[in-house]
Structures are given as C-alpha cells and as structure tokens.
C-alpha cells in the first residue's frame, strides 16, 4: 500500500498540491488498518472465527467494534455535508442513526442473541424450519449491502480526490476498494473486531479534537448558528466576534436552512412550483408544501429508526455477545458511544456554512460532502498553517477509518451470505470448512469488484442520502421480519416471506427509480417526478407506507395460513425469550439433534 500510494503521488502530475501532513496521517491509518488485518489473520483459523469471532467478545470491545463499524462515511463526512447543505432538516439523520438503536435494544437485541445463529438468514431458517426462506432472506443482505457500499465508495473517492488534488474520483474508489477487499479476504471477522474497535476511537478523536481547536479559533457552535437568521427574526444579528463569508447564490436562504421543513424536505414541491404553469397550480402546490414536508420528515424518521434495527452487518455482531444480557448492555453502550460522536459532525456543517460557503457552488466530490476535510485548512489563513494541515490530516485519517471500517463490515456480512448461505447451503451443502473458507475469500473479491463498479457511478449523490436509502430498504424488509418473528407466535413462513418481499422489494424498486433518475436524468422520469411531487416524496422516502404494508401483509397472510405455524413454536419462543439461566437453548439443540433436525 505504501508503495502504491507513493506511486500514485508520483504518477499524478496535477498532484503538486499534496499536503505532506494530510497524506502522512491518511497513510498511517491505512497502514495500521491493513497491518492489524494481516496480524490477526494468522490468529483466525476456524470457520467460526471467520464468521462471528468465536462468539467470545466482551461488552466493551463489542460496543466499540459495533460503533466503529456503524460510523461510516455517511456519519463522518455525510452528516456534516448534509447539515451544511440542508440545515435543520438534515439533523434527523444523525439523531435517528443513534436513536434507532433503541428499537433494536427494546425489541430485538436480547431475543435474537438467545436464539443463536450466525446470520439473519440463519435466523429466518431456524425460526420457520424453512431452507426456502433462507434463500429469500439472503437476497436482502445483498440488496441492503450494495446500497450501503455505494456511499462508502463515494466517501473514498471524495477523500482521495481531496488528498491528491487532480486525482480522478473513480481512481480513489478503485484504490480504496481494492485495499479493503484484500484485507477482508485475508483477515475475516476476528481481525475486524479488533480493527473496528480501534477505528471507533480513531474516529471520535478525529472528529472531536479538530473541531474544538477550530471552534476555539473561529468561534463556537452556537455563535455560528446564531449568525443565521430564522423566519421569525427580521434582522440578522451576527453575534460579536463572528465573521461570516457571503453565501453564494446556490446556498439555501437562512430561514430555510435553520428552520424545520426547509430545503431537504420541500425539494420535491419546490421543483414542482418552479415548473408550474398557472398561478392556480402554484398556489395549490404552495398550500401543500408544509404538509408534504411533514410527511417527508416522518417517513425519514421511520426509515432511519426501523432501519437501524434491520441492518444485516450490524445484527451479525450481536451474535458475538456471550448472552442476551450482554447483548442488551452492548446496545446501550453503542448508543452512548455513537451518540457522543453524532453531536460533532453538525458543528462542522454549521461552521462550514459561515466560513467555507464556496463549497455550495461545487458538485460531486468537490461539494459539501468534503467540509469535514476542508474546514481545518481554514486555520492556515489565520496564522496557523501547520496546525491546519495537521488537523486536516487527522480528519482525513478519520474519514479513512470511517469508510474502511464500514466497507469491511459490509464485505464480511455480504461475503458470509454468499459463502455461508448460497455456497455452503444451496450450491454445495457437503462442502468442507476449507472449501467454504475459500468460497468466502472469492465472494469477498466478487462483491468488492461490484461495489467499486457501483461506487464509481454515484459521485453526484449525497453520501448521507444514499445511506438513508439503504436504511429504508432494511426498515421495510428485515425490521418487520425480526420484530414480528420475535414477538408474534402466529407468524408463518409464508406470512413472513410475503411481507418481507412485498415491503422490501417495493421500497427497493421505488428508491431505485428515484436514484436512477437522479444519477442519469432520464427526461421522462424526471418530468414525471416534477409533475407529481407527492409521488416523488413517497418513492424517495418509502418507509411510511412500506413498513406498515409489510407488517399488515405478514399478519394477513399468517392468519390465512395459520395451519402451517411451526409445530414447536412454543419451544422456539421460549428459546427467544426465556432467561439463559433456564438452559432452554441447550435443551432445544438436543431435541433438534435427536429429531435429526438441521
């Protein structure tokens, strides 16, 4: 990797503006991550080690590792960029990313761990004794995973294009994708637990230290926020000691930016108003603007809160807890660790609005998504050039940690799905553990290549927006499956499958349509969206109809097929809900082995 980066630096003639400090810190992060991966690779021998780290990780380690895996490029770069772009409306993202864990804690974490299975497809099969259902459930690991890897790749491309000015966006995507894929193919998950935990602490350090220094020099969170006037305040009262650069034409107006129902949630209606032909049409749209915006907000909240409880690469980590109580404790610590983190990215967005408004004019990898990387260099203009470079190096290191850790985690869970579920269970059920390990490595390579390919296509889209879409798909598929399977005895396999497929696929389809028309701009589709702002909102944020649809279908179909409720459902529910002290899990396994079960 060392030589690779050096080569890139030398080969790129436009890369004269490379700041040695920024390159140095980023390189250190990459080297440590890869080094730890290789170091632990020697220690992970068995298939169990590869898939769930031997199920022996303590609460502290596991909480740090989950947080490290969860805080992706969307959290580290995307939230700040989106707050800078959209203001208050974007605050829902960090808040729900952190608070979504509450649903996971309240309804899913403990029971899921007690049930004991490697992956969500394992759970789907075990709960309904249905290998068919496993195949259905596996698909969503890949759907959600690919939507989630795209923004990580955008983060990688943006960061590398920042470190090496002049480097093409897609080169960054390819380089980072290749390094991580190699790392995962060689290290597996045991390596990753340690690396992820380390990366959480690196990310917290990288987001907090620079912002404290910057705020001390250029003014604090509140004072920069105060410089924005709200709809209620007619006169801008910039607080003493705060200077603010003039906002370019593309930046949203103050009152839209700081007040709820601003530029993010009213975008669809605003475009429709611009295109409206008659004054009556305009007036009708104006009247709908705020109610539609409220709808958008609620749909976003549902997607993020329910989606957190249905992310396959996060859920798989709960199996590494020793028991259900530890799983609950881990979830609480995760909420604290990531909650502390999420206070900070919006501060970058707020200060960025005042001091780096030129980012509003740029698009793609040069736009607001890089405010976290760019902001520290402001100090150079204030007689602290060295400090600015070092701090910018630190935030770059944090960005590397962010997309590397999440991408690794996604690769592991998607490769596990391919190797463990599709290869190990469907294609070659009699394969040896060695063959499965080889299959895992090849799966990692295949998925890495596809992710890189997808990542090169999404330069125009906001990192955070893309991750929100992955959450919406998870919210409409896995969340209803897990929630209903854990708490309702009357669920049947057919009910679960129908609900998950209908909700998940419809959400996926509508998101795909909006994303596709945003990226490639098909004229017909784009015009349709402009003419139908309500449909646009419902397709862009489908959780508000997809989650209830999925749950309703589960109930209706399960009632209709009540004869096929698994025979030993009481025992399964006991395993899910009874405290471990009663030893029901061991009993259940014995019964199953005695009966020649799976």
Partner 1 sequence: MKESNPTPDPIHSDAFLARLMSGQLKLSIACAFCFIVALVALPLLNYFQPEFMAQRVYGFTLTWLILGVLFFPFVWIISYIFIQRSIALEDAEAKAALDGLKK
Interacting residues toward partner 1 by CB under 8 A: 88, 91-92, 94-95, 98-99, 101-103, 105-107, 110, 220-223, 225-226, 230-233, 239, 258-261, 290, 294, 297-298, 301, 305, 324-325, 328-329, 331-332, 335-336, 339-340, 342-343, 346, 487, 570-571, 573-574, 577-579, 581-582, 584
Nearer to partner 1, 68 or 219 (CB): 219
Distance between CA atoms of residues 270 and 291, nearest Å = 13
State the nearest-atom distance from the C-beta of 220 to partner 1, in Å: 8
Phi, psi of 537 (to 5 degrees): -65, -45
- DSSP class per residue in 381-436: GGT-HHHHHHHHHHHHHHHHHHHHHHHHHHHHHHHHIIIIIIIIIII-TT--HHHH
Q: Which of 118, 108, 114 is nearest to 579 (CA)?
A: 114
**By the 8 A CB rule, do 154 and 73 touch?**
yes
Distance between CA atoms of residues 335 and 322, nearest Å = 19
State the nearest-atom distance from the C-beta of 45 to partner 1, in Å: 35
Could you tell me how far CA 230 lies from the centroid of its own chain?
A: 31
Nearer to partner 1, 19 or 226 (CB): 226
Q: Residue 323: how many CB atoms within 10 A of its CB?
A: 17
The tokens of 374 are what? 């760019």
**By the 8 A CB rule, do 391 and 209 touch?**
yes
Nearer to partner 1, 164 or 296 (CB): 296
State the nearest-atom distance from the C-beta of 568 to partner 1, in Å: 11
State the nearest-atom distance from the C-beta of 98 to partner 1, in Å: 6
Nearer to partner 1, 147 or 342 (CB): 342
State the nearest-atom distance from the C-beta of 115 to partner 1, in Å: 14
3-state secondary structure of 491: coil
Nearer to partner 1, 519 or 582 (CB): 582
Instruction: Indicate the Cα dihedral angle 18, 20, 26, 30, nearest 10°.
Output: 100
State the nearest-atom distance from the C-beta of 324 to partner 1, in Å: 8
State the nearest-atom distance from the C-beta of 565 to partner 1, in Å: 14
The tokens of 552 are what? 């309703």
Could you give the residue ranges of the DSSP H alpha helices within 116-226? 120-128, 131-163, 169-218, 221-226
Residue with tokens 């955008």: 154
Nearer to partner 1, 229 or 460 (CB): 229
Nearer to partner 1, 232 or 278 (CB): 232
State the nearest-atom distance from the C-beta of 134 to partner 1, in Å: 25
Distance between CA atoms of residues 389 and 283, nearest Å = 51
Nearer to partner 1, 252 or 388 (CB): 252
CA angle 422, 138, 592 (to 5 degrees): 80
State the nearest-atom distance from the C-beta of 221 to partner 1, in Å: 8
Nearer to partner 1, 298 or 512 (CB): 298
**20 HSE (CA, 13 A, CB side):** 2
Nearer to partner 1, 98 or 150 (CB): 98
State the nearest-atom distance from the C-beta of 89 to partner 1, in Å: 10
**By the 8 A CB rule, do 190 and 421 touch?**
no
């Amino acid at each position: 990797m060392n030589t690779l980066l050096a080569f890139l630096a030398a080969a790129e003639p436009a890369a004269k503006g490379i700041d040695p400090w920024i390159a140095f810190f980023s390189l250190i992060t990459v080297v440590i991550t890869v080094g730890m991966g290789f170091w632990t690779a020697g220690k992970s021998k068995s298939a169990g080690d590869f898939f769930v780290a031997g199920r022996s990780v303590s609460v502290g380690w596991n909480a740090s590792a989950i947080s490290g895996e969860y805080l992706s490029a969307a959290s580290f770069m995307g939230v700040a960029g989106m707050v800078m772009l959209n203001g208050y409306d974007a605050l829902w993202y960090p808040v729900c990313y952190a608070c979504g864990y509450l649903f996971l804690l309240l309804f899913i974490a403990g029971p899921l761990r007690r049930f004991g299975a490697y992956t969500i497809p394992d759970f789907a099969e075990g709960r309904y004794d249905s290998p068919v259902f496993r195949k259905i459930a596996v698909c969503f690991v890949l759907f959600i995973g690919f939507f989630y890897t795209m923004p990580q790749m955008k983060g990688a491309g943006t960061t590398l294009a920042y470190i090496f000015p002049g480097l093409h966006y897609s080169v960054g995507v390819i380089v980072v994708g290749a390094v991580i894929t190699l790392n995962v193919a060689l290290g597996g998950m045991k390596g990753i637990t340690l690396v992820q935990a380390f990366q959480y602490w690196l990310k917290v350090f990288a987001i907090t230290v620079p912002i404290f220094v910057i705020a001390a020099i250029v003014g604090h969170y509140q004072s920069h926020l105060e410089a924005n006037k709200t709809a209620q305040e007619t006169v801008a009262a910039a607080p003493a000691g705060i200077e603010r650069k003039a906002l370019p034409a593309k930046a949203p107006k103050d009152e839209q930016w700081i007040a709820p129902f601003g530029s993010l949630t009213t975008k669809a209606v605003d475009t429709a108003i611009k295109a409206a032909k008659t004054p009556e049409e305009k007036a009708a749209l104006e009247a709908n603007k705020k109610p539609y915006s409220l709808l958008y907000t609620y749909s976003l909240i549902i997607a993020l809160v329910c989606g957190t409880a249905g992310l396959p690469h996060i859920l798989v980590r709960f199996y590494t807890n020793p028991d259900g109580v530890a799983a609950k404790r881990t979830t609480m610590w995760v909420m604290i660790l990531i909650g502390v983190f999420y206070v900070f990215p919006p501060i970058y967005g707020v200060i960025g609005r005042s001091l780096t408004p030129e980012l509003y004019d740029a698009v793609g990898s040069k736009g607001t998504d890089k405010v976290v990387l760019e902001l520290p260099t402001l100090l150079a203009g204030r007689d602290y050039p060295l400090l600015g470079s070092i701090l910018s190096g630190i935030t770059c290191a944090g960005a590397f940690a962010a997309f590397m850790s999440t991408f690794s985690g996604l690769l592991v869970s998607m490769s596990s799905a391919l190797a463990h579920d599709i290869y190990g269970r469907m294609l070659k059920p009699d394969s040896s553990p060695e063959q499965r390990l080889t299959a895992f490595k090849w799966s990692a390579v295949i998925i890495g290549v596809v992710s890189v390919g997808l990542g090169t296509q999404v330069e125009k889209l906001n990192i955070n927006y893309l991750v929100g879409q992955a959450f919406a798909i998870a919210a409409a598929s896995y969340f209803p499956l897990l929630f209903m399977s854990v708490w309702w005895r009357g669920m049947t396999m057919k009910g679960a499958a129908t609900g998950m497929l209908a909700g998940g696929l419809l959400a996926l389809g509508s998101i795909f349509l909006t994303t596709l028309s945003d990226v490639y701009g098909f004229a017909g589709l784009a015009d349709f969206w402009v003419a139908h702002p309500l449909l646009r909102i419902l397709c862009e944020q489908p959780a508000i109809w997809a989650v209830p649809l999925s749950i309703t279908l589960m109930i209706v179909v399960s009632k209709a097929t009540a004869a096929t409720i698994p025979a030993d459902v009481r025992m399964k529910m006991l395993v899910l809900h009874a405290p471990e002290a009663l030893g029901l899990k061991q009993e259940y396994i014995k019964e199953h082995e005695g009966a020649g079960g799976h």
